[in-house]
Structure 1
Amino acid sequence: MYVAVKGGARAIENAHAWLAEERRGDPGVAELSVAQIRGQLTLAVDRVMAEGSLYDPDLAALAIKQARGDLIEAIFLIRAYRTTLPRLGATLPVDTGAMACDRRISATFKDLPGGQVLGPTFDYTHRLLDFKLAAEAAQPEAERAAPDLRPKPRVTEFLNQEGLIQDEAKAEDAPPDLTRAPLEFPACRALRQQALTRGDEGFVLGMAYSTQRGYGRNHAFVGELRIGTCSVEMEIPELGFAVEIGEVEVTECETVNQFAGSKTEPAQFTRGYGLVFGHGERKAISMALVDRALRWRELGEDDTGAPAQDEEFVLQHADNIQATGFLEHIKLPHYVDFQSEIELVRKLRAAAGEAPDD
């Protein structure tokens, strides 16, 4: 496009050089390292990994640096790099019930076996600027308990003891892979979950908020929110058994939602579910709310016409990379298209001017 214009190639090279200069910033200030981004901007790194579908904190931090802090651009870089990687196999499903929890809370039960673990959270902080951080002085370290490695029962298990919550049906077939096949409708729940976890946090949050405001009648309680590390295992054909190949940090949310019952199901609670890489509780809770809203058909509920209940609307517009590509392509040259539009408008105006008065 621009390359075809006289001097276009040189202009692009100069634009890239200018971009690198802007990225570096003031040469008198120490350059921000990838290690610093990984260690101190962890929530940004976690979001890039989650929406980029690649668990690698170092690469996510590098992408953030290259993108000058533009997280959607960084997610784009990670997804593009991901397509170059070979697939060596598939891991077993992660057992989040055996998670080593740094944070575990419930809004439905006060007393839990294993206790409520607040962990690192903004929930109880005053939303006031801390000018001590600008002084770059060393901050006192708080006492940090080691993660509790003991498996903790899920909150929903307490409700299940009385049959008050719907059982989760286990899928018999392997779920489809959204990264290897295009999205098709109607989408199964596993495919919807993949689209939501890769979806833009702001969009999914907006959809979740709409359900809380009545667009979908989806009043939810956070049954349990967990953040911690889980083991990743893979079966090795030559060995005949699974071996642990690493750990990932994840955030998991289960919501408890009202359900009035149907002709075949008694009144009970139902579930919404969200799971993302890293520390991303806002995204996980949003996912759980939207997941529950999208389940209206399988639960025999009425379609209220709410945006969050429209599977095609939600899933087709959640992906920020697709949205960005379609949005930003309009700033590229469209000279020929626009000239044809101009000619059309001129012809319409000319025809209107020649038409006799009524």
Structure 2
Amino acid sequence: MYVAVKGGERAIENAHAFLAEERRGDPAIPELTIAQIREQLRLSVNRVMAEGSLYDPDLAALAIKQARGDLIEAVFLIRAYRTTLPRFGASHPVETGAMACTRRISATFKDAPGGQILGPTFDYTHRLLDFKLLAEGGTLPAVATAPADTAPVPHITEFLDKDGLIQGEARLEDTPPDLTREPMELPASRALRLQALTRGDEGFILSLAYSTQRGYGRTHAFVGELRIGTVAVEMDIPELGFAVEIGEVELTECETVNQFAGSKTEPPQFTRGYGLTFGQTERKAIAMSLVDRALRWKELGEDDIGAPAQDEEFVMMHADNVQATGFLEHIKLPHYVDFQSELELIRKLRAEALAAKQEAAE
């Protein structure tokens, strides 16, 4: 247990002032506004909302500004603020099949009903620095932009469902546990694992997903579908007696299709990996779906090959970047008493070793 120690208040105040000065940067340069961060650093905003478990682009932009662009620190700020908010109800599960898509692609079926919508993506860029962006106030390229497809489009895996070629997913009747309000327990249900992966650090989940592709896990995945768009959020109003729409959120959803040789109880068929995150965070959603599939080895009756991505405790206990940051950075706090005890122990052991050496020499 760590207890605050009095003293050094002036130094701390000066450190805070120095931090504010460093955050602001050169006063001759106009300060970034929250609107600029929200609109022009949208992918960073989306990541902070996803890992902070709070959908509010303005607050995520504020956290990024306050954290000087440190996204993990921004996630920490958002989670801390989230704990102060009252909870007055629960929404219905969102219907991603009714998503108004701005991006929808499939690597398994070329001519899918509803078509492929490329949307805003880096996939087809040349990864060359665009020096035109150095000229402030540049004009946008004259390109026709299509609005979101508001007509519901079916999930790609539904076509495999019809022929029994992919494992069915049972709809949960009970409300799954909320990881933000209840302590995590192992072994965890798939619903709880998916929550942990959604909140998990993108880099960590990405590395685990990459490891499964290199053979450290039982996955050979195809992106069945990746879709990005807005969905309606509904909740029951007791005074009205029915559900009403209270807003919309942007989501990224990914379903991967994975090989499965079958087991004693299941015929050979494809299985799914699933990822769902706030905003346009497709790299995270794809990585999440690969790790989700790797963690399902036991329920599918597969053999454990000992891959890190298959180890539920390893994944769940190390995915959270806020928890990891807290444990990592606490070692820079004063540990004077602990170190002095270690120092005394080393000195005692060295003295005993030296005495034994001298005694042996005599």
- Report the TM-score, using the length of structure 1 for normalisation: 0.98
Give 1:162 deviation, angstroms.
1.3
Residue matched to 1:86: 86
8 Å CA contact retained: 1:199, 1:318: yes
Give 1:80 deviation, angstroms.
0.1
Give 1:169 deviation, angstroms.
1.6
CA distance in 1, matches of 2:72, 2:298: 32
- Within 5 Å, give how 1:86-165 maps onto structure 2: 86-136=86-136, 137-165=138-166
CA distance in 1, matches of 2:115, 2:180: 38
**Percent identity at matched positions?**
78
Match of 1:357 among 338, 348, 360: 360
Which amino acid in the other structure matches residue 116 of structure 1? Q
- Within 5 Å, give how 1:2-151 maps onto structure 2: 4=5, 6=7, 8-136=8-136, 137-151=138-152
Which amino acid in the other structure matches residue 357 of structure 1? A
Contiguous gaps of at least 5 residues in structure 1: none
Residue matched to 1:269: 270
Specify the SS of the correspondent of 1:252: strand
Specify the SS of the correspondent of 1:243: strand
Which portions of structure 1, spanning 4 or more consecutive aligned residues, are displaced by more than 6 angstroms? none
Contiguous gaps of at least 5 residues in structure 2: none
8 Å CA contact retained: 1:2, 1:333: no
Specify the SS of the correspondent of 2:325: helix
Give 1:142 deviation, angstroms.
2.2
Give 1:172 deviation, angstroms.
2.5
Which amino acid in the other structure matches residue 237 of structure 2? I
Specify the SS of the correspondent of 2:225: strand
**Does the C-alpha gap of structure 1 residues 41 and 10 become closer, same or farther in structure 2, counting only changes over 3 Å?**
same
Which amino acid in the other structure matches residue 256 of structure 2? T
Q: Residues 215-273 of structure 1, C-alpha deviation per residue, up to 9 Å, x if partnerless? A: 01211000000000000000111111100000000000000000000011000000000
CA distance in 2, matches of 1:176, 1:5: 41
Give 1:5 deviation, angstroms.
6.2
Give 1:144 deviation, angstroms.
1.0
CA distance in 1, matches of 2:143, 2:176: 42
Which amino acid in the other structure matches residue 47 of structure 1? R
Which amino acid in the other structure matches residue 44 of structure 2? A
Q: Residues 35-73 of structure 1, C-alpha deviation per residue, up to 9 Å, x if partnerless? A: 000000000000000000000000000000000000000
- Within 5 Å, give how 1:178-193 maps onto structure 2: 178-193=179-194
Specify the SS of the correspondent of 1:102: strand
CA distance in 1, matches of 2:3, 2:303: 51
CA distance in 2, matches of 1:135, 1:127: 19
- Within 5 Å, give how 1:218-233 maps onto structure 2: 218-233=219-234
**Does the C-alpha gap of structure 1 residues 141 and 176 become closer, same or farther in structure 2, counting only changes over 3 Å?**
farther
8 Å CA contact retained: 1:230, 1:249: yes
Give 1:141 deviation, angstroms.
4.2
Residue matched to 1:280: 281
8 Å CA contact retained: 1:164, 1:269: yes
Give 1:77 deviation, angstroms.
0.2
Name the Cα RMSD after superposition.
Answer: 1.2
CA distance in 2, matches of 1:158, 1:41: 37
CA distance in 2, matches of 1:135, 1:204: 36
8 Å CA contact retained: 1:2, 1:9: no
Residue matched to 1:305: 306
CA distance in 2, matches of 1:179, 1:27: 39
CA distance in 2, matches of 1:37, 1:117: 26
CA distance in 2, matches of 1:95, 1:57: 22
8 Å CA contact retained: 1:3, 1:9: no
CA distance in 1, matches of 2:201, 2:168: 29
CA distance in 2, matches of 1:193, 1:138: 41
Give 1:135 deviation, angstroms.
1.1
Residue matched to 1:331: 332
CA distance in 1, matches of 2:349, 2:278: 54
Specify the SS of the correspondent of 2:131: coil
- Within 5 Å, give how 1:164-243 maps onto structure 2: 164-243=165-244
Specify the SS of the correspondent of 2:331: helix
